[in-house]
Structure 1
C-alpha cells in the first residue's frame, strides 16, 4: 500500500510540474482537448530548419535539372507528409501511441517486430540530429574565432543533449508549447538567412543545369520522401492521440500535411536555387551541411544562424526521443513514460559523444545502417496505411493490450508481408557508403539479375560504386511501401471485417 501511495504522490507531483505521466495507455476522454490545427505546431517546428536547405544539394546530386528537382521536391514532400497524416488518423481513432495502434495490424505480440525497427530508427536519427548540432556549433565557433575544438564540442554536446532530454521527459504538453515558440524563432531566423543569401542566386547557372533520366528522377523523389515525411511516419499518431474523438479526419490529415510540408517545401526549393548557383556550395554541403551554408553569411549573422540551426535540430530530436520512449514501453519495458524518455535520451547522449569524440569515422556506417532500416519501415507504413483504410470503426481499446482479444497475439499475414517486402526491397536499394560500410554491400542483389545496375569494386585509386540507370533510384523503398499496401489491402480485408464485428 505504501508503494502504491508513493507512486500516486510521485505522479501528482510530476503533473504539477507539467510533466506528462501518461504512457502507452489510452488517453482519457477528458484529456482529449486538442484540435486538428494544433498539429501544425509540432510538425512545422520540427521541419523549419536551415538544414532543410542543404537537402537541395543531395537532390541535385542525382544529376537532374532545377525544374526536375523542384517538381520532385514539392511532390515528394507533400505526398510523404500526407502519408503521415493518414497514420495520424489512427491516433484519433484509438488515442494511443502509433506502435500500440499498430498491434491491430500485427497482433499484440507480433507488433514487436516493427516496434524494434521503429525504436532503432527513432534513436538513430535523433542521435544523428544531435551530432549535426554539435558539429555545426564547432564549425561556426571556429569561423568566429571562438575556438571550435574539443572544449567547444563537449559544451555543445552537453547543452544539446540536456535540452533534448529535458523536453522529451517533460512530455506532450510542454513539447507542444515549446514547439509553438520555436516555430516563430527558427522561422524568423530562417527568413533572415534567405534575405542575406538571395544575392548569391545566379539564374543563368540554375537554368543551365542539365536534365537527368527517369532513374535519377525516381532516385531523387525517393530521397526526398524518405528524408522528410517517411522519416517521421512511425511516430505520426503519437501527436494526434490527444485529438477530440469527433475531430474531422480530413482536418487531421490536412493540418498534419500542411504543418510538416510547408517549411521544407519552401526551404528545399530555395536551396535548389542556391546550390544550383554555386558549385562550391553544391560540393561542400555533402561533407558539412551547416558549415557550408554559413560560409555565405556575414560574420554578424552567424550567431543567430547557429541558434536557429541548433534549435531546429533539437526540435526534431525531441519529437523522436519522446516517441522512441513510448515505443520502448510498447515493446514490454515496464517503466514510466518519463523514465523511458530519459533512458532513450541517455542513449542519444552516449551515442553523440561516441561519434563526435571517439569514432568520427563511424558516421558513414551509422547512416548506412539507418538507411537500411528505412526499407522495413516503409513496408510497415504500407501495411499500416492499408489497415487504416480498411477500418470503419474506432479501435477496441482493451483488445490492444490483450493478446487473447480480437486482434490476437500474432498476425502472420502482416508479419510475413513485412519480411518478404523488406527482403525484396533490400534487393533494389544500394549501400551509399560502400567503402565505409562494406558489410552492407549485399544490398542491391536484385539489380544485376534484373539488368538495373552493376556493382563496380573499388580500387586503390577509386571508391566502389554502382552504375546503371536505376542503380541509385532506391526502388526498394517504393516497392516495400506499395507492395505491402496492396497485399495487406487485399489479403486482410476479411480479417479486419471479423475484428470489427467481434468474431
Structure 2
C-alpha cells in the first residue's frame, strides 16, 4: 500500500500516461485488424469508437479505485476472490502481460532494426528488451515521464501520418465501398473494447499513487479520456492505412509507416515515435507483470515488501520471457494478435464484472485494507461466490465465441459475430450480485492500516485486528 505521506501527483498525470500508452503502433495495428478481417473503414472507425468507449468506462472505473485504496489492482481483487482465490485470475493476468509485452516487442523490434540498420527483427527485439528492463527497473516516475514524452511525440507523429495518408492516397476511393455488415462491425467493437478492458487489471497500479483526497470522478475522467482518445486516434489511423495499403501494410507494419512518412530523415523520426510509444506501454507491462507475480507469491507467504534486488530479478526475468516469446511469435504476428486479444476478452470480462460489481454495488467502496493481506481475515482464503461466478462467466461465453481455434454453436445464428465479451460482463454480474449481497460482509467504512511505516507495509497487529471481522455468511452482523 502507498501510505498517504508518499502520495503525489495530479489526475492529469493519468491522462498523459494512458494517452501515451494508447497512442502507439500496436493500437494502429489493432485498428487495422478490423479492416483486414473484412470491415469497411467507414464502418470500422465508428465501431472501434463504440468499443473504446464501452471498454473505457469499465477500465476507468477500475482506475477510480486507486486513490481511495492505495493498493495494486489485483491486491484489491482479494476482497472479492479471497487472499488465495485471487491467484486464479492473477495467473491469467500474468499471461496477459506476457502476451502484450511480446507482441509489442515484435513491432518495436521492427523499429529498432530500421533505426540501427540491424540484419533482422530478432536483434531489434533483443535491444528493445534491454531498454524495457532499464526503464521498468527505474520505476514509477520514469514510466510517467515516458508517458508524457509519448503523448507529445505520439500526437505529432501519428498526426503527421494521418495527413500523409490523405496526401498520398485517394482515401475516398478506398472507403465506403462495402455496405454495413453486423458481423465485421461487432468484430471492430470487440477489438476496441478488448484494448481497453485488458488495461483493467493494472490501471489502478498507477492511480494508487494519487493523494487519497483525489476525487473518484477526476481519476475516472482523466484515465478514460486519455486512454480512449489515444486509442481511437491510433486505431482510426490503422483502419485507414489498412484500407488504402492492403498487403503492403500486412507484411511489414512498422516499415510501411516509415515509408509513408516520406523522406528518410522523417521516416527515421517516425521509427523513434514508434519506439517511444512501445517503450511506454511495454514498461507498464513489465512493471505490472512484476506486480502480479509478486501478488501471487505473497498471497502465500504474507509479505507486503520485497528488496530492490528481488524486484530487479522479477522484472528482468519477466522481460526476458517476453522477449523469447516475441522472437518465436513474430512470423505470424497479425493473426496471432487478433486471436490473443479476443481470448483475453473471454477471461477478463468476468473478472471485471465481479470486481466492479462488488466494489460499487455490494461493498459500496468500503474495503478492509489490512484484511487484504491476511488469509485469516475478513476476506478469507477462497471466496466461493466469486470463484464460482468467474468460472460460470467464462463458460457462458463459450457458445458465443468466434475464434480461429473454436467457434461456438450459437455464433452462426448471430451471423458469425463474436459477442462473447458482452455475455461475459452481463451474465457474470447477474450471477454474482445477488449471491454476494447474501454472503458479503463489507466493513461499515473503509479500514486503513493503523500504522503505515515507510514503504506502506502492514503491521502484524493490523493483520490480527482484521481477523476479528472475518466474512461469515451465517452471522452477517459481524
Q: TM-score, normalised by structure 2?
A: 0.84
Pair 1:348 & 2:319 matched: yes
Asked if structure 2 preserves the Cα contact closer than 8 Å seen for 1:121 and 1:370, the reply is no
Whether contact under 8 Å (1:51, 1:290) holds in the other structure is: no
The alignment status of 1:375 with 2:327, answered yes or no, reads: no
Q: Is 1:222 paired with 2:190?
A: yes
Aligned to 2:49: 74
Cα distance in 2 for residues equivalent to 1:314 and 1:129: 9
Could you tell me how far apart the structure 1 residues matched to 2:184 and 2:152 are?
A: 36
- Are the aligned partners of 2:393 and 2:428 in contact in 1 as well (CA < 8 Å)? yes
Cα deviation for residue 371 of structure 1 reads 4.3
Which residue, out of 366, 369, 378, partners 1:397?
369
Matched residues in 2 for 1:327 and 1:183: separation?
Answer: 26
Q: What's the counterpart of residue 181 of structure 1? A: 149
Instruction: Tell me how far 1:187 sits from its aligned partner.
Output: 2.5
Q: How does 1:63-102 map to 2 (within 5 A)?
A: 63-102=38-77
Distance (Å, rounded) in 1 between the aligned partners of 2:69 and 2:350: 22
Native 8 Å contact 1:129 1:313 kept in 2: yes
After superposition, where does 1:178-217 map in structure 2 within 5 Å? 178-217=146-185
Match of 2:210 among 198, 223, 243: 243
Which 5+ residue runs of structure 2 have no aligned equivalent?
446-468, 470-477
Deviation of the 1:345 alpha carbon: 3.6
- The Cα shift of 1:67 comes to 3.6
1:27-66 equivalences in 2 (<5 Å): 27-66=2-41
* 1:294-313 matches, cutoff 5 A: 294-298=258-262, 299-313=264-278
Distance 1:62 1:165, change over 3 A: same
8 Å CA contact 1:64–1:209 kept in 2: the answer is no
After TM superposition, the structure 1 = structure 2 runs for residues 255-266 of structure 1, keeping only pairs within 5 Å, are 255-266=222-233
Q: Which residue of 2 aligns with 1:485?
A: 429
In structure 2, distance between residues paired with 1:498 and 1:95:
18
Q: Please tell me whether residue 430 in structure 1 is matched to residue 395 in structure 2.
A: no
**In the superposition, relative to structure 1, how do residues 64 and 359 fare at CA in structure 2: closer, same or farther (>3 Å)?**
closer
How far residue 251 of structure 1 moved from its aligned partner, in angstroms, is 1.1
Structure 1 residues 215 and 77: alpha-carbon distance in aligned structure 2, compared to 1, 3 A threshold: same
> How far did residue 42 of structure 1 move?
1.2
Specify which of 378, 389, 412 is matched with residue 406 of structure 1. Answer: 378
Name the residue aligned to 1:437: none
What is the alpha-carbon distance in structure 2 between the residues aligned to residue 427 and residue 241 of structure 1?
37
Q: Is residue 383–residue 484 contact of structure 1 (8 Å, CA) maintained in 2?
A: yes
- Give the number of aligned pairs: 438
Instruction: Compare 58-67 and 375-384 and name the one that shifted more.
Output: 58-67
Partner of 1:169: 137
Q: What is the match of residue 108 of structure 1?
A: 83
Q: After the TM superposition, which segments of 4 or more aligned residues of structure 1 sit over 6 Å from their partners?
A: none
Equivalent residue for 1:290? 254
User: CA offset at residue 387 of structure 1?
Assistant: 1.4
Other-structure match for 2:466: none
* 1:149 counterpart = 2:119: yes
Deviation, 1:496, is 3.8
Deviates more, 1:199-208 or 1:324-333: 199-208
Quote the residue 1:12 is aligned against. none
Deviation at 1:500, TM superposition (A): 4.3
Per-residue deviation at 1:62? 4.5
Matching of residues 349-368 of structure 1 within 5 Å: 349-353=320-324, 355-356=326-327, 360-361=330-331, 368=339
Residue 160 (structure 1) aligned with residue 160 (structure 2) = no
Q: Is the 8 A contact 2:29 2:238 kept in 1?
A: yes
1:298-317, Cα deviation, whole Å (9 max, x unpaired): 23321101111111111111
Give CA deviations for 1:449-489 in whole Å, capped at 9, x if unaligned: x3x32xxxxxxxxxxxxxx7532x22222211221122222
Structure 1 residue aligned with 2:454: none
**Partners of 1:133 and 1:303 in 2: how far apart?**
13
SS of structure 2 residue aligned to 1:246: coil
Kindly indicate whether the alpha-carbon contact (under 8 Å) linking 2:137 and 2:315 is maintained by their aligned counterparts in 1. Answer: no
2:103 counterpart residue number: 128
The CA distance in 1 between the partners of 2:152 and 2:27, in whole Å, is: 17
Distance in 2 between residues matched to 1:400 and 1:470, nearest whole Å = 45
Alignment of 1:5-24 (within 5 A): none
Partner of 1:27, secondary structure, is coil
* CA contact 1:57–1:271 (8 Å) conserved in 2: yes
Could you tell me how far apart the structure 2 residues matched to 1:51 and 1:402 are? 39
Is 1:314 the counterpart of 2:279 in the alignment? yes
SS at 1:251's partner residue?
helix
